[in-house]
Amino acid sequence: MTAKTNPGNYFEDFALGQDLVHATPRTVTAGDRALYTALYGSRFALASSDEFARSVGLPQAPLDDFLVFHVVFGKTVPDISLNAVANLGYAEGRFLRPVYPGDTLAARSKVIGLKENSNGKTGVVYVNSTGINQHGETVLDYVRWVMVRKRDEASPAPATTVPDLADRVAPADLAVPPGLDFSGYDRALAGSAHPWEDYSPGERIDHVDGVTIEEAEHMMATRLYQNTARVHFNQHTEGQGRFGRRLIYGGHIISLARALSFNGLGNGCLVAAVNGGAHTAPTFAGDTIYAWSEVLESAEVAGRSDVGALRLRTIAAKDRPCDNFPHRGEDGKYDPAVVLDLDYWVLLPRR
């Protein structure tokens, strides 16, 4: 048979400095937003209501920030992680401009680091990926690293280069959407009485609710993002693999945890940055996800009296409620129930 299909890149196919232009540009619509809401039940008012968005200076309701993230991420999969063992982490992620229904998103990536693992079977690829709208404006910029299989274990390893990544996005580098004005923000309509000033570093919030993952919802979500990773789709092959079943896409857990965080952080309506994150254990259909958040930092936004920023750490766990939940044991290792550890900034109205 002729070889016209794309088998995906293996570790030895990547080179430091390599530029990757990802297919396929995608025009996002109000239908995508409705389906995203159906999948996760997110209730943040700014992304739910055109009228609410206009009351704070935006032309209409923007798409949920993580919907944008997943669409851009999905475009990178065929070139970066089709042959991945696991997505390992994120850093330096910034949401730079709102995305509205009718905008078209495209994605590019640059390889910024390579490191072969000691087993000689896999390696870690570091990429800086960007999402770009139809005007050529960058709407999303982030780094991720992923463990990728080698095609040939005997192939020579590239020189090790591990990028020096910031442990957090500085508050001065957070982008506020053009035109946004929270001075008239209606907290009653938003569903939370608590502005930025009500939160303090060290505070922990149990988001109380739990949601059980359904196989059909996970499959629909992954297709929504055009994410082609085999580990999420192909039960025929995954049934013979390490876990014996399909893995839930890690971004699915991010969106579930973010939606759950509304209960306690309902005014944290914009994600401004992702500082870091780890998918610490696999999840499967039938698992029930709970979440809690810790306030790591509270920061003023330069020149703004209407907007404040909170740096949050959200922990998601499977089949374990999160009231008074230590996420690590005495040995420093994650509790087996923990499936996500996400460090990010959100923007809130000030009093």
Could you state, in order of their start, the residue ranges of all structural domains in the chain? 11-349
Show the CA angle centred on residue 160, arms to residues 157 and 165, nearest 5°. Answer: 145
Closest CA to 8 of 150, 139, 191: 150
The reported pLDDT for the residue numbered 4 is 87
Distance, in Å, from the CA atom of 231 to the CA atom of 228, rounded to the nearest integer, reads 9
Cβ–Cβ < 8 Å for 300, 169: no
Q: CA 296, 124, 95: angle at the middle one, nearest 5?
A: 40
What is the mean pLDDT, run by run of 10 residues, along the chain of 351 residues? Answer: 82 96 97 97 97 98 98 96 90 98 98 95 97 98 96 90 97 97 97 98 96 93 91 83 88 97 98 96 95 97 96 96 76 90 98 95
Does residue 229 contact residue 241 with C-beta atoms inside 8 Å? no
Q: What is the CATH number of domain 11-349?
A: 3.10.129.10
pTM (2 d.p.) = 0.95
Tokens read off for 302? 């330069």
pLDDT at 1: 63
